[in-house]
Amino acid sequence: MSGSKTLLTRAECTALKGIAIICIILHNFFHVMPGYARENEYRFLISNVEKFAGILERHSLHLPLQIISYGGFMTLGIFLMLTGYGLVVKYENRPEPLRRARFVWEHYVKLLRLMFVPLVMVTFVAYFHPMRPLGPITGTLELLMLSNVLNTDYFPGPFWYFSMIFQAYVLYALVIYRKTERGRTWSSVLLVVMTLVFTLLQWLFEPESPNLEWYRLNVVAYLPAFTLGVLLGRYANRPWLGRTGGAVMAVVCTLALWPMSRSYGWWMWIYVPAALAGIGWIKALPWLGAKPMQWIGRLSSYLFANHATSRQLFWDLAIKHPVTWLIPYLVVAVLLSMAHRWADQRNWFITSAFTRK
C-alpha cells in the first residue's frame, strides 16, 4: 500500500488509523461521563439524539468534546474500511493462493496477543472500580472470539471489537477471497448482496432493544464499511482522488453524519460516510498524515486494547472532573500501549511459534 499508484499510500493508511484511534479513545472516555452526550452505537435511542441536539443549540465551550462523545465511535468505520482495503491489497496481489486455515489461525493469534494482557489488567482493576468483574464463562468466550455471537453479556470496553473483527477475517477467508478475476467479481457481488440484506435486517429489531445491541456487536452490522474497503481495494485502487476532490468528499460526508445519525434507517449506514470522510480529509489536508500521526497509527492496535485500563484507573477522579483528568488518562494509555508493544515484539506473552511457518 505504498507509492503513488494506489488510492491510499501506506503512510496515509497508518495516519488514518491514528486519526481514528484518537477519536475512539476520546469518545470512550467522555461518553460515560456525566453531562456529556451519549452515543447510539449499538442501539438507536431517540433520546440521545434529542439530548445532543440540545447541546448543539447551547453552543457549549466543550462542544468539540461533546461532538466526540456523541459521534467518535463512527470512526470505527475507518478501521473497518482499512481492514477490507488492506486484506485485498495484501493478499490478492500475491501469486500464491491464500492458505485459508493458516490465515484464520494467524489472525486469531494476532488478536489474542493484543487482547490477553489488557483483558487481564482491566479485569483486575474492575474489582476496585464501578464495573462488573469478568466472569469465567464470559472471559473464556472473549478469548475464543465467541462472546459476540454466543453471549450478549459481554465485558464492557473495547474487547467486543476483537471478536467482531475476527469474524471479518473469517468472512474474508471463506467467502470474499478468490484467486481469479472472475471469482473476485462474483464474490464482490455476493458481498454487496450480503451487505444489503444484513443491514436491512436491522429493521426487524426495535431500535432500543437488547436484540439490536447483540446484532450490532457482530460483523453483519459493520459490513457496509468493510465492503467499501474491499471494493475500493479491488476496483478503485488508483490515485483518482486529489486534494480538491478530497476536500469536497470530506466536507459532504462529514456534514452528512449528523442528519444520518438522526434517522434509524440512515443510521445503519453511518460508518460509510465516516470512512469516506476520513479518506477525504487525509487527501485534502496532507499534514494530517505527518510522522506524529503515523506514529500514533502504528500504536493504534495497542491503544485500542489498553485504553480501557487507563480509563478504569482514573474513573473515580474523572467522573467528577473529566477534562482535568483527560491528559493523565491519555498519557497512561500511551505508556501502557508502548510497554505492551515492546513486550509483544519480544514474544513475552504468546510465542511467535504459534504463527511460525
What does the pLDDT look like over 217-249, one tens digit per residue?
999 999 999 999 999 999 999 999 999 999 999
Per-residue pLDDT reduced to its tens digit, 322-349: 999 999 999 999 999 999 999 988 877 6
pLDDT of residue 155: 61
pLDDT for residue 130: 56
| pLDDT at residue 48 greater than cutoff 70 | yes
- Whether the pLDDT of residue 287 is over 90: the answer is yes
185-213 pLDDT, tens digit per residue, is 999 999 999 999 999 999 999 999 999 99
> At 68, which amino acid appears?
I
- Whether 25 shows a pLDDT value over 80: the answer reads yes
What pLDDT score was predicted for residue 1?
A: 43
**pLDDT at 352 > cutoff 60:** no
Mean pLDDT of the 294-317 span:
92
User: What percentage of the chain has pLDDT greater than the value 90?
Assistant: 75
DSSP for 94-139, written as a single string = -SSPP-HHHHHHHHHHHHHHHHHHHHHHHHHHHTTTTSPPPPHHHH
Confidence of residue 127 (pLDDT cuts 50, 70, 90): low
Please report which residue ranges of the chain form alpha helices under DSSP H. Answer: 10-30, 46-58, 63-71, 76-91, 100-126, 136-143, 147-150, 160-171, 181-200, 210-215, 223-235, 243-261, 264-267, 271-284, 291-298, 300-313, 315-318, 326-345
How much is the average pLDDT of 314-328?
91
Give me 41's grid cell.
Answer: 452505537
- pLDDT bracket for residue 135 (50, 70, 90): low
**Average pLDDT score over residue span 10-15:** 96
pTM of the model: 0.93
What gap in Å lies between CA 220 and CA 32, rounded to an integer?
26
pLDDT of residue 280: 97
Local confidence band at 4 (pLDDT 50, 70, 90 cut-offs): low
Give the model confidence (pLDDT) of 250-281 as tens digits: 999 999 999 999 999 999 999 999 999 999 99
Residue-level pLDDT at 120: 82
Q: What is the pLDDT of residue 356?
A: 47
Residue 131 has pLDDT above 70, yes or no: no
Lookup: cell for 173: 477467508
Mean pLDDT of 277-298: 96
SS3 state at 32: coil
